[in-house]
Structures are given as C-alpha cells and as structure tokens.
Amino acid sequence: NSIFFFALTALLSTNIKAAWDDLNMTKGVTAISKEIFDLHMLIYWICVVIGLIVFSIMFYSMYAYTKKKNPNPSTFHEDTKLELAWTVVPFLILVFMAIPASNTLTKIYDDIEGDINIQVVGYQWKWQYKYLEDNINFFSNLATDWDEINNKTPKGEFYLQEVDEAVVIPVGKKVRFLITANDVIHSWWMPDFAIKQDAIPGFINSAWTVVDKPGIFRGKCTELCGKNHGFMPVVVKVVPQEEYDAWVQDKREEAFKMAELTEKN
C-alpha cells in the first residue's frame, strides 16, 4: 500500500508540474529570459500572499460579524493609524516590486549594437531576414505540407512550426534584431529568448539575445495580420561559431552565384 501511495503521489506531482509548466510563463534558455521568469515568479508569489491575507480577513469578517452574532451594530469612527497603514504598506510593496522590475527592464532595453545585427521584416505571410554586416538576405516561409494543413495526412511533430530556411546565429554572441514590417503590423515572438516585439511598417523596434547553448528554437507571429496569420512561424537555429562561419560563407557564395546569373540574363 505504501508503495502504491508513493507511486500515486509521484504521478500526481509530475502531472501537476506538467500542467503548471503549460500554464506558466516560459522560462527560456537565455540569462535575461531566466531573470524575467524569476521576476515573474517573485511578483506572482507576492500577489498570492496579498490575496490570501485580504481574502482571509474578508471571510473571517463575514463569519465573525454577522447580524446574528452582533445584533447591536458597533459605533466607531475612522482609525487614522489603520488608514495610514493600509496606504503606506501597499506603497512600500510596490516600491519593493519596482526596484527589481526596473533593473530587468533596463537590461531588456539595452539597445547597443550587437556582435551580429539582423533586420527582421514581416510580410503577409512570411519573414525576411537581413544580416547587416554580412550582406545576407533571405525569406523564411512556412514549410509544413499543405496536405497536413488540409487534414489529408497526419500532422507532424512541428506542425505549423517548420520553415524552409531558419535564422542562424552563433552561440555566446550578442545578436540584435531590428524588427519592422512591409505591409501590416506583425509581431516577432521567440519565447525561449523572452523576445516579443511588434513589427510596424515605417517603425523599427529592437530586441537582443545571447544564447549560450546550441539548439533549435521556435516562435511565431503573435499579431493578427490577415488570413494566413497562423502560417508564419519563426525558427532560430543556434550553432557553434565554426558552424556559423561556414554557414555565412555558404550564403555569401550562394548570393555571388545568384548575382552572376542575374548579370548573364
């Protein structure tokens, strides 16, 4: 029985944690995304404690001061000390919350030039990426098969999260994204980097990241931008520096060959 109890407890705790992770904010893989997550959890628990205190007092008052228990209403006037307390204490709590929030926001909006600067342009319904230092320019389109979308074949693991060409960045380098749009408002969202910036025609928003481990990370457009809004995912591939340098060289050669063909035509 004890083994069954512990197994059931472990199973329930695992399921509860999985459900919590699905509902909660993404922790991400960068230092700034983890700092944002920790700030989110700090303020969340402060709000939980405040809620418990307020509702405990409220429910206790509703129970203890009913007309049945107190047939004769009390006669009293304001309590200056109490009114000062419930004004000053929330103010101090807000100041306590504002200090770490301001420090984190200062880091988020650290808009100095990155080691790599990429212009991101939203189109209906795809993304264009321009590597400003390396003169690399390409479009990234949805690669999910339309038979999957039309329910003719089973949906794959990365349904509506696949592209024909991913953004490639190196490990450990500061990458700044300069985000705008060509037609309507889009929004470039990469939850693992804690980046979500609107892409607005005629205006440039910026964001940055430093990713310390290789991997493939997925996001999407999060601004309703037309009938194919759900079909413009974001995929970022983080690779070691050597692999990134080789990729840049391949893209340069590809662009050179394309320029030659254009000149011949």
- Per-residue pLDDT of 7-62, as tens digits, reads 556 555 566 655 666 788 888 999 999 999 999 999 999 999 999 999 999 999 88
> Has residue 113 got a pLDDT over 90?
no
Distance CA 186, CA 180 (A): 8
Q: Which of the four pLDDT bands, split at 50, 70 and 90, describes residue 165?
A: very high
Share of the chain above pLDDT 70, in %: 89
Q: Kindly state the average pLDDT of the residues 196-218.
A: 95
CA dihedral 65, 69, 75, 78 (to 10 degrees): -10
Share the mean pLDDT of the chain.
88
Determine the 3-state secondary structure of 17 from DSSP.
helix
Mean pLDDT of 111-131: 93
pTM beyond cutoff 0.85: no
Helix and strand numbers (H, E) in the chain are 5, 10
Task: Give the model's pLDDT for residue 16.
Answer: 61
Taking CA atoms, 139 is separated from 81, 131, 233, 263, in Å, by: 64, 12, 12, 22
pLDDT reported for residue 74: 74
Over residues 219-237, the mean pLDDT reads 95
pLDDT at residue 33, as a whole number: 94
pLDDT at residue 87 greater than cutoff 70: yes
